[in-house]
């Protein structure tokens, strides 16, 4: 019997295909054949000029891809983990998280210190706007959508823009970064820099193959970040960020997280350590909400 023919669903952007190709190569080493890419258009791809929060926020780039696996048109899907909603749909499982790339944000067009007073920064992310406004209340902002080359060009035309450094690296464009922002100043989005590979929960053969390309430390870190997101309600529209780091020496996780007002005037930040990824994310969310005043911010959102 020949090797199983595996179909891998992905968006069609250059970045998405690069990420999917990387997972396909890893999987080929285990399964004996290279998966076929199944290109899926998503709501986010169809509405390139519309701010993400107006077309569904998190999930805008993944729901149709997930549906292709659930309906049997593909066997697995590769996502940028930062695009995933907090809850995995019934019938799917987050089976593998390969080694994580650099999770930091990068400025294109200028360093943060080099931006003049009142400079314009392009970003479609409420999280990035809030943290930059906290650091530099003088800055102004404009939307940023499109593929990476479009984003880079617009960023330089307006003054500067913020993008994922991992995305630049995966596309061989890391030289475009003028400043890579320290997570102490700019916490990334939940899952930034990580890939998430989903398959059907009852596909035991594929689950075994995907386990072989999983990075347990990266997977546990992502679980902690996603637990934090889920504990905030999953659909929380306030700016938030989280970054977990796994310590190979003692098996503990450190999770840093923020919750902010939309204008960046209020920014709550805290950190915690633990071994249980789910409990760590949930407890840190509770501290931000109930001990540090985050509940009042949530209640102000229409």
| Active-site annotation, residues | 83
> Which token pair is 96?
């593998």
**Residue 125 burial class via C-beta count within 10 angstroms: exposed 0-12, middle 13-18, buried 19 and up:** buried
- Torsions phi, psi for 300 (to 5 deg): -85, -15
Paired residues of 92 in beta bridges = 200
């Amino acid at each position: 019997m020949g090797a199983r023919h595996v179909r891998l669903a992905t968006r069609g952007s250059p970045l998405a295909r690069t990420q999917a190709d990387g997972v396909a190569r890893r999987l080929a080493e285990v399964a004996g054949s290279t998966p076929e890419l199944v290109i899926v258009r998503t709501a986010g791809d169809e509405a390139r000029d519309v701010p993400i929060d107006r077309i569904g926020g998190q999930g805008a780039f993944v729901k149709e891809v997930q549906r292709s696996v659930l309906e049997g048109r593909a066997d697995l899907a590769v996502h940028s983990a930062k695009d995933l909603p907090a809850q995995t749909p019934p019938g799917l499982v987050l089976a593998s998280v390969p080694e994580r790339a650099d999770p930091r944000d990068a400025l294109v067009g200028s360093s943060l210190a080099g931006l003049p007073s009142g400079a314009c920064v392009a970003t479609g992310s409420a999280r990035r706007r809030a943290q930059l406004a906290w650091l530099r209340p003088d800055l102004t902002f404009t939307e940023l959508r499109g593929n990476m080359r479009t984003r880079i060009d617009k960023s330089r035309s307006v003054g500067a823009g913020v993008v994922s450094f991992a995305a630049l690296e995966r596309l061989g464009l890391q030289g475009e970064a003028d400043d890579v922002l320290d997570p102490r100043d700019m916490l990334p989005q939940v899952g930034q820099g990580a890939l998430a590979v989903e398959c059907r929960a009852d596909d035991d053969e594929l689950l075994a193959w995907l386990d072989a390309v999983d990075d347990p430390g990266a997977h546990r870190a992502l679980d902690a970040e996603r637990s934090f997101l889920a504990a905030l309600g999953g659909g929380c529209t306030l700016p938030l960020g989280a970054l977990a780091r796994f310590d190979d020496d003692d098996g503990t996780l450190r999770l840093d997280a923020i919750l902010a007002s939309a204008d960046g005037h209020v920014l709550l930040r805290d950190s915690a350590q633990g071994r249980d990824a789910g409990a760590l994310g949930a407890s840190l969310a509770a501290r931000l909400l109930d001990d540090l005043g985050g509940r009042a911010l949530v209640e102000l959102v229409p």
